């Protein structure tokens, strides 16, 4: 995926994206290597671009790459090499659990 950072474009490998978190009108992209990128794009736009088999919306402000899930507890997920748990909202919890039943 091509993103704009200031006056240059950067090509990101989709499979290296750990999570995308909304921040007002922007999105913070968290990469596997620990880098983050701030882009002016909504999570709805990201949902349309990202492969559904790899990415799951867990909250109105968060999309995660299921490849990086380390642990799931009730309404929280933990990503590999990321210290903070991410909340799963009730709105997305059922769909999230269904993904792991199959």
Whole-structure pTM value = 0.92
Return the pLDDT at 102.
Answer: 59
Mean pLDDT of the residues in the chain: 93
Percent of the chain's residues with pLDDT above 90: 83
Q: Domain spanning 2-96: which CATH class is it, in words?
A: mainly beta
List the domain boundaries for the chain: 2-96
pLDDT in tens, 38-65: 999 999 999 999 999 999 999 999 999 9
Residues ≥6 apart with Cβ < 8 Å to 79:
18, 19, 64, 68, 69, 70, 86
pLDDT given for residue 24 in this prediction:
87
Better pLDDT: 98 or 55: 55
Mean pLDDT across 72-99: 92
């Amino acid at each position: 995926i091509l993103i704009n950072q200031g006056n240059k474009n950067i090509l990101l490998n989709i499979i290296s994206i750990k999570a995308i978190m909304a921040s007002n009108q922007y999105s913070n992209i968290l990469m596997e290597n620990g880098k983050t990128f701030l882009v002016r794009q909504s999570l709805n736009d990201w949902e349309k671009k990202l492969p559904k088999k790899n990415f799951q919306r867990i909250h109105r402000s968060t999309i995660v790459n299921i490849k990086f899930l380390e642990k799931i507890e009730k309404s929280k997920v933990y990503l590999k090499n990321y210290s903070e748990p991410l909340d799963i909202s009730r709105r997305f919890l059922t769909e999230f659990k269904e993904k792991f039943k199959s």
